[in-house]
Structure 1
């Protein structure tokens, strides 16, 4: 017992006197909430760091530091010479990449997050139309930093427009390294005095090649994502509207015949009617609901087929994350064949709307 008592005293002594050893006081620490990457006109790299600093007496301030250099860690070292504060690792909420930098290539950014164990793999990643320095210097409306504001914007968008939810660094790794996949991440831009989602940034390898515009992103998202949420609106020639809240489910079937690859995308949309400015809207019988399901299933199928044809024929690009299914069937050694022959493949889209609720109507 005496031996155990001595051991307990030693452990307690070590715990008390070593727990805060070599730790900087909070007034000398900084929390990086976001990092932006830009490209200067002379092809020199630029990084903007947005971080909060503690000034004592519960005062928290925001600071922005921009550095230039030849590599990510060259700019990181220069940042340390400016801020005079200890950096707390693993706190980055947002990785923002400007459009110019994305088109230049992001393989170095991917490699830095892959190798550096202090990097937070749950960091949200996005591409910005404007320079990241200009965006991070904006005054946030609802958060302490612009990084938090943009992260909240992207994550709250999951509830509408069937937006993708694979938006972290871990998801970026999967899209970059898995066979038959391409990087597709949110694209943000200035809107008045705040930020809005402006579409989807699309990459080939590590370079951004184009942006899917906002008005088409909803339909690309339906084709690309499973268990996505959003609203669909249909209007008739008389301007009467039919609006439904939806959750979509996606199934992919790949057929291979006579050296032709056929992708069959089947979308099942579970819906609740939110607005039905249609004739006899108070009499949504079972027969009427079935009629509406058939009518609008045809409309959304036609729209989705047009979108799939556009990106396959005009861009020869898989914006729907379906090539991986062909590679899974044909084998990894057929990856180049699958990608090179995507423009010659066929995509069949079939969508079905299933109305689960007609909504609340008080007579």
Structure 2
């Protein structure tokens, strides 16, 4: 990939920076890093001769039309939430504009980042994502629909990360922290309550370092991960480690913080409804659908193992270790020796 010119949108984000670093270490490609604030690009040497910063808003791609037209590969991680108008402009309209500025004869691959939340267990689009989803979920589902019928669909690869961890829990590392990693400290504050219940739901997670590895392989490797049962025009890859239950995750956190586990009650649907009523929690229609669905598992999933690699973080313990979350202090029973 010596002559490759890889355009990476959202390059200053958690996944974006891990991916940029992987490409700098493992390829000879030139990187076009599209960012809004250069100060947030903390892990990249801005003076690297292989790096060119494109400072601007993803909603105005015309500013960089020359750079976009000459890109041989694109990794589109930029996204938005927190408002219907902004989410639509960034997650749907901006993607169409970006694709329209690419040269079909120059472009080799376009890796589009979505979210596993909009897919069912067989990697088919969930109708409920468009019906009940938040503005983020709905716009991601709408964009996927559009991409399936786009003239460049034969060059698009869609990746769907599951729960993403990365960086340090206190944002002190060289990489930005993902929202889930930032939330680990807050999550431990609820362990006193969580240890009384047994969460039966299952889910996948993945570290941003492993996402970077997979993206790199999708660009440079001819290896093909297992195919899914999904009916689609563009390849879909859900990025995650083998599923585990919420109960297993709670046990790992309790052990990490050296807290005891008591007799736990199965967290049935009616109990969740009671907790939602009692605790200061606001839920949406999408939240209620998710509670009813319970399990968030997919088959197949993709991680470094599918490309002959080794995962950076395959277990929750490794996630906690790399996050820098402090361990609980071990409690020792006082031993009183008899007087001589």
Same fold (TM over 0.5): no
TM-score band, normalised by the shorter chain? 0.3 to 0.5
Q: Which has the higher strand share?
A: 1
> What TM-score, normalized by structure 1, do the two folds share?
0.31
The higher radius of gyration belongs to 1
